[in-house]
Amino acid sequence: MCPQQNNQSNIHTLKQLQDLRLTGQLVPALQMATGAMAQYPGDMTIMAEAIRVLILSEQTDTAVRLYQAYTDNAVENNNLEPEALVRMALQMGRVDLVADMPAPAGPAWLVTLLETGDDPLTPLILQKMGVKVANGPSVYNFTSACPHCGHSGVIQISTNLLVYRTGLCGACFGGYVVDYEDIRTFIRQQHHELLQTEVAVTDWDLTDHVRTRLMEKGGAPEVVQNLGQEYHFMLNEILARHIMGESS
């Protein structure tokens, strides 16, 4: 491969890594970063991206070791952004490393940390909800914005909405939380029509209709009755699509 082709491959790989990080796909990002560093040894931009992914994944020891190698080889004044370095210092338990750091213009969580010493864990700003069911448990996709920097992303919640989840923004490394109460408030405010009695009655009627057809003697072939669970999954999909107003 000629140098120009190799450089183009590096850029393409780096872009893929960044996209995975910013969309919160940390597992495939880690796998890709490992392969990319082996394929492009000495590429500081890919190494830096790998460190960011490790910080977000809270694999602190590995992030620190890789950062030490990065600082030994990176060109002068080519360092990670302050929010990534501060988050890594906090994960190390080394608050002293940022004690005298002047407060930057942003992101908001870093400003708060350096001014007050508090590392805020702030609710995600939920913006849109989608439901997908494909032969299994329901998956809820929430389009949301980071409360610290406004970065837009999607968080997935499977099976039910009785959750309490914390994480780090892939763009600014600020801490966020999403829980049942936040989701409940969002649905009440943005999808009030789903809470009307008519919707529940329609669901009950459809459930009763399908259940009767499955349970009555001779109403369904024996194989269908024996695979009732699969049909419950299908019923869940019908109900979810109906509630969200999606086409089948």
Q: Kindly list the distances between the CA atom of residue 189 and the CA atoms of 126, 127, 184, 193, in Å, as whole numbers in the listed order.
A: 11, 11, 9, 9
> Which tops the pLDDT comparison, 204 or 68?
68
Residue 5 is predicted with a pLDDT of: 45
Q: Is 51 exposed, middle or buried (0-12, 13-18, 19+ CB in 10 A)?
A: buried
Do the Cβ atoms of 180 and 163 come closer than 8 Å? yes
Residue 228, pLDDT above cutoff 60: no
Q: What is the pLDDT of residues 121-140, one digit of tens each?
A: 999 999 998 887 766 677 88
Instruction: State both tokens at 240.
Output: 């979810």
User: What integer is the mean pLDDT of 19-43?
Assistant: 90
Q: To 5 degrees, how large is the angle CA 199–CA 205–CA 206?
A: 90
Mean pLDDT of 97-106: 84
Q: Tell me the C-alpha distance between 161 and 27, whole Å.
A: 23
Residues 6+ apart with CB under 8 A from 167: 24, 155, 175, 176
Average pLDDT over residues 233-248: 58
* Predicted pLDDT at 240: 63
What is the pTM for the complete model shown?
Answer: 0.73
241: confidence class by pLDDT, cuts 50, 70, 90: low
pLDDT tens figures, 40-76:
888 889 999 999 999 999 999 999 999 999 988 866 6
Q: Are 90 and 173 in contact (CB under 8 A)?
A: no
Q: Cβ neighbours of residue 240 under 8 Å, at least 6 residues apart?
A: 131, 132, 133, 138, 246
